[in-house]
Amino acid sequence: MKLVAWFQITMGVAIAALWTVLLLTGQVPEVQQGRLDIWFHIGAELVMAVLLLAGGIALLRQAVRGRMLSALALGWLGYSALNSPGYYAQSGDWVIVGMFVLVVGAAAAAFVALCKRDAGVGGSSVPEGLSPAQPGVLSPEKPAAAGAGDRP
């Protein structure tokens, strides 16, 4: 699970850094054209970067909600990596399209690893502080023994 966490952290940092560099160096033509739609796209990308960072950190800290947050972030990354290559394919930049294919594959593999029942950090899918035998939480309650006032 640490590999999934570090993948998310790496992708989150890389995405935030990429957009920062592109914006600071004037390499987003849609911004110069005054297009509003690009700001929604950039906003979605930066929210994804924050979710990837938060999910990765939560997994490393073994937070109870780490897997749920990571699943959301990895799904967002998968969608983005499937949607974004169209822009580069239109301009014939097939190397970048190939990079996105690799990101889709890595995100899918990370998601599968995240969803494995025994793939928790430390080898357990049971949140810290809970026992798999704790009645009503992770296993069905045992029926109560028949008492003196119980009907058959």
Q: What is the pLDDT of residue 117?
A: 57
- 47 part of a folded domain: yes
- 143 part of a folded domain: no
Which pLDDT tens digit goes with each residue over 50-91? 999 999 999 999 998 999 999 999 999 999 999 999 989 999
Q: What is the pLDDT of residue 122?
A: 46
Number of domains within the chain: 1
Dihedral in degrees, nearest 10, Cα atoms 11, 16, 19, 20: -140
**Domain boundaries, position 12:** 2-120
- 132 part of a folded domain: no
Helices 2-24, 37-60: crossing angle, 10 deg rounding: 150
Which pLDDT tens digit goes with each residue over 98-137? 999 999 999 999 999 998 855 444 444 545 554 455 444 4
- 105 part of a folded domain: yes
> For residue 90, which phi and psi values (nearest 5 degrees)?
-60, -35
- 14 part of a folded domain: yes
Q: What is the pLDDT of residue 64?
A: 87
- pTM for the model: 0.74
- 138 part of a folded domain: no
- 129 part of a folded domain: no
